[in-house]
């Protein structure tokens, strides 16, 4: 299949999945009709994510261990990086990543600058291995295990450290309360509507619309759509990287 044919097919599938009156949409709603906060905090979502994540975690845990050891061998520092973020109800949650940076995270202000200025693989803080790992977002593989433990969700609003929340509050005070209410109502997710659809995934000032929309429309159908779109985005990213190497 040519690249153009693939893109056309992907566009048609995308349009179909966005509709709410199709047979597929009605079938999914028949399986679980919960929506919004009730769905985000319900047993069905937890069970669904556990089933979906288990085989992925089994595959990625050994990869995480191997890459973690490789990160340690490169400069003698830690295998993994832990960052405290704000979780459900404002409670702290530790997010685990394969360490990709030379000296861990820098000051909050510099982290915000780098996130908006550089693509992940071009971040000057990366190690040589970290540059390759972040290009494909493999550094987040350990979080599949956290999903199984119930520490984070597979799909929900993306977690944020306190300094990012403070930054949003300072820069967007008029809409902050609405966004933060939506953020705190559910368990932070590894995947999100913003990361699946937005072209400015690293710009935290652009997350309000996606996050509030997810909080209001959260459902089994929307979660499946986010998983599909994330997979499609990663496939296209791999294709682009392969083209660059030719």
DSSP 74-133: HHSS-SEEEEEEE-GGG-EEEEEEE--BSSS---HHHHHHHHHHS-GGG-TTB-HHHHHH
pLDDT value, residue 106: 54
3-state secondary structure at position 159? coil
Contacts of 29 (CB under 8 A, 6+ apart): 219, 220, 221
Tokens 């995947």 — which residue?
191
Q: Which pair of structure tokens corresponds to residue 117?
A: 């200025």
The percent of residues above 70 in pLDDT, for the chain, comes to: 90
Spatial distance between the Cα atoms of 145 and 56, rounded to a whole number of angstroms: 9
pTM of this structure = 0.90
Please provide the size of the chain in residues.
246
Give the residue-averaged pLDDT of 180-195.
96
Tokens 């040519």 — which residue?
2
Give the residue-averaged pLDDT of 115-142.
83
In terms of pLDDT, which residue wins out, 119 or 191? 191
Which residue intervals of the chain are DSSP H helices? 3-18, 23-31, 37-40, 43-75, 108-117, 128-135, 143-149, 162-171, 173-184, 193-197, 208-217, 220-245
Q: Is it the case that residue 8 has pLDDT exceeding 90?
A: no
- The pLDDT mean for the chain works out to 88
Q: Is it the case that residue 109 has pLDDT exceeding 60?
A: no
pLDDT value, residue 3: 61
Q: Is it the case that residue 226 has pLDDT exceeding 80?
A: yes
pLDDT category of residue 204 using cuts at 50, 70 and 90: confident
Residues β-bridged to residue 85: 93
């Amino acid at each position: 299949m040519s690249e153009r044919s693939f893109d056309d097919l992907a566009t048609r599938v995308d349009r179909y999945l966005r509709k709410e009156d199709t047979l597929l949409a009605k079938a999914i709603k028949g399986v679980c009709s919960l929506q919004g906060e009730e769905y985000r905090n319900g047993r069905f979502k937890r069970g669904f994510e556990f089933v979906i994540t288990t085989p992925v975690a089994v595959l990625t845990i050994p990869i995480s261990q191997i890459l973690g050891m490789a990160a340690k061998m490169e400069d003698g520092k830690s295998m993994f990086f832990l960052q405290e973020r704000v979780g459900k109800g404002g409670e702290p949650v530790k997010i685990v990543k394969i360490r990709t940076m030379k000296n861990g995270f820098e000051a909050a202000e510099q982290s915000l600058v780098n996130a908006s200025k550089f693509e992940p693989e071009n971040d000057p803080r990366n190690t040589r291995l970290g540059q390759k790992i972040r290009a494909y977002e493999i550094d987040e593989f350990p979080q599949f295990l956290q999903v199984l433990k119930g520490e984070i969700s597979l799909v929900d609003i993306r977690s944020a450290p306190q300094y990012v929340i403070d930054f949003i509050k300072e820069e967007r005070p008029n809409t902050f309360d609405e966004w933060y209410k939506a953020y705190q109502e559910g368990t932070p997710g590894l995947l999100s509507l913003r990361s699946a659809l937005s072209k400015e995934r690293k710009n935290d000032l652009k997350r309000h619309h996606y996050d509030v929309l997810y909080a209001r429309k959260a459902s089994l159908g929307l979660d499946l759509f986010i998983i599909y779109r994330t997979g499609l985005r990663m496939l296209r990213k791999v294709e682009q990287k392969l083209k660059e190497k030719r």
